Amino acid sequence: MEFDQSGCDVAGIAYPVYCFGLPNIVTNFVQKVQFATGTYLFGLASYRGLLISSGRRLKKLLQARGYTMHESA
């Protein structure tokens, strides 16, 4: 199954942090989703403590597909 989000100007991926990383369902989604070039992408992690590397992992997955994830300052 593929997820076509090419009509979006802005897209956020919200996810819980599992064992300091991304849940498999989020990884699988990112590997299949289609965004239009220039879509403003951001991630929103939910975790009780430290986020550790989940945001970096999401960013790398998106970069591997040719997308840019924007980060807050």
Q: Which residue has the higher pLDDT, 43 or 47?
A: 43
Residue 24 corresponds to which amino acid? N
**3-class SS of residue 1:** coil
DSSP state of 21: B
Task: Decide if pLDDT at 53 tops 80.
Answer: no
Q: Which residue has the higher pLDDT, 47 or 49?
A: 47
CA pair distance 6, 47, nearest whole angstrom: 29
What's the mean pLDDT in 38-50? 82
Give the model's pLDDT for residue 55. 82
What's the mean pLDDT in 33-50? 85
Q: How confident is the model at residue 56 (pLDDT cuts 50, 70, 90)?
A: confident
